[in-house]
Amino acid sequence: MPNKFIKPIIVGNWKMNGLKSSIDELVKLIDLCSKNTKFDVVIAPPYTLLHSFNDLIKKNESLLKLGAQDCHHIASGSHTGSVSGEMIKDSNAQYVILGHSERRIQHKETNELVSKKAHAAQLLKLNTIICVGESLEDRSNGNHKEVIGRQLADSLPNGFTNKNTIVAYEPIWAIGSNNSASKEEINQMHKFIASFLLKYSKENYSLPIIYGGSVTQFNAKEIINIDYVNGLLVGGASLKADSFFGIIDAI
Ligand code: PGA
């Protein structure tokens, strides 16, 4: 049975984009989203903007939620340039994206490291959005399900629950490509992930599974209506309030 009873969640991942002046986009988004109660909307700006975004969200009593794009697996110490889960909590963010393919590829993050980070974040009661996704090569070779199964088995930390974990399926070849995965590809993989989780840990069958990879206001509705899709992880189209809200409005 598709787990469609979960409240959909739309996450905007700003990646390494956004300056102080980008607060204008948040002002607009808060205004546009003021009537939305159907979805949880999370915005994940770079670390440098977390505190100012939180201040604005609080001041406006907005329902928008705040997320970070990564965290270290250790609470504090000699790790130059890193940001811990505690620091993210300190900004009032409630979510953290982990294991994004850009971190896995550009920073050589392994499944094991993603699992450690997720464990640390969950101890702090942060909601973890754990990303998995296959390369074009994996898909062309027909290894995509095996790759995703391995990523899930090794990236999900012990003791995860459907209250603190969201799985984001983001095929690497669809990210930033203007070419999202097809309806069939998304349906097949989300169904596979749902059944994998069912076998892997029975009580976690209802883990939300969200899709990311070239989501826009033009394809969002079709994607969110696919069985086993509980939300969207949006990169490029989340940078501007109008296009991000276009997605929310479309669905
Ligand atoms: P995109 O990015 O929407 O720009 O394809 C998605 C992501 O990487 O999370």
Domains of the chain: 9-250 (3.20.20.70)
- Please pick, among 25, 72, 73, 100, the residue that the annotation labels catalytic: 100
Task: Mark out the alpha helices in 158-225 (DSSP H runs).
Answer: 183-200, 220-224
Q: Is the CB of 213 under 6 A from ligand 1?
A: yes
Please give the model's pTM, rounded to 2 decimal places. 0.97
Task: Identify the burial level of 80 via C-beta atoms within 10 angstroms of its C-beta, where 0-12 means exposed, 13-18 middle and 19 or more buried.
Answer: exposed
CA 5 to ligand 1 center in whole angstroms:
25
Half-sphere exposure of 243 (CA within 13 A, CB side): 14
CA 61 to ligand 1 center in whole angstroms:
28
For residue 3, pLDDT over 80 is answered with no
Task: Mark out the alpha helices in 5-110 (DSSP H runs).
Answer: 23-32, 50-59, 85-90, 101-106
Q: Is the CB of 233 under 6 A from ligand 1?
A: yes
pLDDT digits (tens, 9 = 90+) for 158-208: 989 999 999 999 999 999 999 999 999 999 999 999 999 988 876 766 789
Atom of ligand 1 nearest to the CA of 101: 8
Q: Name every residue whose Cβ is closer than 8 Å to that of residue 125 and which is 6 or more positions away in sequence.
A: 89, 164
Residue 132 φ then ψ, to 5°: -135, 155
Active site includes 72?
Answer: no
Work out whether the CA dihedral 243, 42, 68, 192 comes out positive or negative.
negative
Residue 68 φ then ψ, to 5°: -110, 170
Atom of ligand 1 nearest to the CA of 213: 5
pLDDT digits (tens, 9 = 90+) for 103-161: 999 999 999 999 999 999 999 999 999 999 999 999 999 999 999 999 999 999 998 99
Across-strand partners of 84?
A: 72
Active site includes 170?
Answer: yes
Q: Is the CB of 175 under 6 A from ligand 1?
A: yes
Mean of all residue pLDDT scores within the chain: 95
Q: Is the CB of 159 under 6 A from ligand 1?
A: no
The beta-strand segments (E) located in the chain are 9-13, 40-44, 65-68, 95-98, 127-132, 165-169, 209-212, 231-234
CA 175 to ligand 1 center in whole angstroms:
5
- The more confident residue out of 221 and 202 is 221
Atom of ligand 1 nearest to the CA of 11: 9
Nearest CA to 92 among 65, 129, 59, 74?
A: 65
The whole-number pLDDT of residue 112 equals: 98
Atom of ligand 1 nearest to the CA of 168: 9
Task: Identify the burial level of 37 via C-beta atoms within 10 angstroms of its C-beta, where 0-12 means exposed, 13-18 middle and 19 or more buried.
Answer: exposed
